[in-house]
Amino acid sequence: MYAFCSHSSIRSLKQVQCEEKWKVTHHSDQCFTDKTRWDKLINPCDTLFHSFLGWLPFLKQRYISIFPIDSNKFNIVKNVQDVLFSVVKPIPFNSEIVLVAISHDVLVECLNLIPSVEESPVFIKFISGHQSPSFPPALAHRYGGHQFGYWSGQLGDGRAALLGTFINEDENGMELNLKGSGVTPYSRQGDGRSVLRSSVRVPTSRALSLVLSKDTVIRDEFYNGNMKAERGAMVVRIAPSWFRIGSLEILAFNEEIRQLKSLLDYLIEHHFRHINGDHKDRYLMLFDEIVNGTAHLISAWQSFGFTHGVCNTDNFSLLSITIDYGPFGFLEEYNLDFVPNTSDDEGRYSYTKQPSVGYYNLDKLRVALNPVLTYDQQETAKIILDGYYDIFNRSLLQRFTQKLGLSLPASAADAKLVAMFLSLMQQTRSDFTLSFRQLGETKLDDLLGGAIEHSQWALTRLKCHPKFDLFLDKYQMRLEEQGISDSDRRREMCKVNPVYVLRTWMAYNAIQRAEENDFSEVKKLQRVLSSPFNRQAEAENAGYSSTPPPWAPSIKVSCSS
């Protein structure tokens, strides 16, 4: 999600100038084979690698030297013990593949590669599951998880492979993960493949590439016995880490305490460096960080109307970033009970339940930490977890206060105003995203005078509520109390309220066209959603901020992918 990415999708002026002027560093392959020079090579932010082969030596499979690894000479489904990863061999498609989409932002900002590497045959092989002596060995991660409230035992990367970690001069890494690369020891009954509809869902700065084949993959999309053939696809995903709550759960459940401590110490050393790795309470400190981060993450979800769809513990990042997008969705109308996943019959992971699910998942993390905590530390962990809702509520109020263009810190008066606006939206079934956006685009005098343009369709619906004028009066009073001018209000609101989000009907359109080898809609979505806060002519022409088509509510999305 662009809103939850740990790396900004907005380029700095220096980076843009760097790309436009093609200020690149030419590295010979021989330079990187000399281990004595490896530590001396630097990768400045204002230089880009011109050669993909020259970049490859910076891609390391560092977990091989850190954790015990299952050699797994053959991609056989099996139960694995006492390791965190298995060596796997990605399986390329048999048919010719086509590069459907690629993120130049990720290439430039995260990987320091020039955009033209997408034309490199070696790069295309790399992102489509081919093997080469130049590539690091691929790994599949072993983890477990609670799925829909029940312990599911060993899960793991059943159709994904970690291609390696790109480490920059500051020793910060971005992990490249290939989804749809074939069977691993963790595939269970699956075939290890992904299909197009599950791969055109996340146009974010953490999705590097999407390739599509003509290989047939059989799927029962809605688990109703209606099998159908779909086209196989692969996606390269990028994140600072793919460790999740389930990574620790499987180790605790199987009493692999040495590995549990090893992973916890790794997380502290590489991702929570401000924590003293020798402190006796370091694991408590780590838990406190994850509780805090998760609370802020879910408050961000709620403030954008984002519903993850499958909030199992194996899909919750230990770094509090959004991972493992499945049947997600954004609110259209403000419906608290919105469930994007048709497989979620009981609505366990509805929009309104996400905060409580976050607490549930963190409690499972707390239990997983018990083997490495003393009794007193275990009791302290409970106290830390009890603070989750306070952190979440404060963060959410701050976000909604900003969405109304008001100043921080938020007050009790702000909380009442936010609650009133949300109540009006809910009762009028107004569009979540555009109610905020159009409120921020319309002058206060026009709002008070009822001069709302017909094109402001979300506000027009909201205006029908008999208490809308009362809200406006209270809103104006609060703005005056804070000394906020109307121009400042509108400017600040447009900074935090997007015009465009990836609505399910928009993704559906793109998928349908892509199935027929028309990738124009995928590319259009990629362009538009890279700047979601700015109105764009092609997006307006495509109706991305217009009233959703009447057939939009009939679209169904499931866990099948």
Q: What is the pLDDT of residues 67-83, one digit of tens each?
A: 999 976 777 888 999 99
pTM of the model: 0.89
Please state whether 129 falls in left (phi above 0), alpha (psi between -120 and 50) or beta.
left
Q: Which tens digit of pLDDT belongs to each residue from 360-385?
A: 999 999 999 999 999 999 999 999 99
Residue 427's pLDDT band, with cuts at 50, 70 and 90, is very high
Highest mean pLDDT: which range of 207-211, 453-457, 539-543? 539-543
With 90 as the cut, is the pLDDT of residue 296 above it? Answer: yes
Determine the pLDDT at residue 265.
Answer: 98
For residue 525, the surrounding DSSP H or E stretch is helix 520-529
Told to judge if 34 belongs to the known catalytic residues of this protein, a careful annotator would answer no
List CB contacts of 347: < 8 A, sequence separation 6 or more. Answer: 337, 339, 353
Angle between helices 412-428 and 468-482 (to 10 degrees): 150
Residue 129 pLDDT exceeds 60:
yes
531: its two tokens = 């700047």
Return the H-helix or E-strand segment holding 388.
helix 388-403
Angle of helix 375-386 relative to helix 282-304, nearest 10 degrees? 20
Q: Which helix (H) or strand (E) holds 140?
A: strand 138-141
**Other beta carbons within 10 Å of 39:** 7
Grouping H, G, I as helix, E, B as strand and the rest as coil, residue 166 is strand
Residues 6+ apart with CB under 8 A from 241: 175, 267, 270, 271, 317, 318, 319
CA separation for the pair 56, 440 (Å, rounded):
46
- State both tokens at 108: 């430039």
Residue type, 258: R
10 Å CB burial of residue 119 (0-12, 13-18, 19+) is exposed
214 vs 514: CA distance, rounded Å: 12
pLDDT at residue 168 is higher than 80: no
Burial of 317 (C-beta count, 10 Å sphere; 0-12/13-18/19+):
buried
Query: Which residues on neighbouring strands pair with residue 102, listed in sequence order?
Result: 209
Q: Residue 352: is its pLDDT beyond 90?
A: yes
Say how far apart CA 115 and CA 183 lie, in whole Å: 31
| pLDDT (tens digit per residue) in 441-496 | 999 999 999 999 989 999 999 999 999 999 999 999 999 999 999 999 999 999 99
> Residue 225: its pLDDT value, please?
64
Q: Which of 105, 157, 314, 344 is catalytic?
A: 314
Q: Angle CA(124)–CA(130)–CA(133) in degrees, nearest 5?
A: 105
What pLDDT, on a 0 to 100 scale, did the predictor assign at position 346? 92
Which tokens go with 533? 């806060």
Q: Can you list the positions of beta strands (E) in 221-375?
A: 228-239, 306-307, 329-330
Percent of residues, the chain, with pLDDT higher than 70: 86
Q: Considering all CA atoms of the chain, what is the largest pairwise distance in Å, rounded to the nearest integer?
A: 74
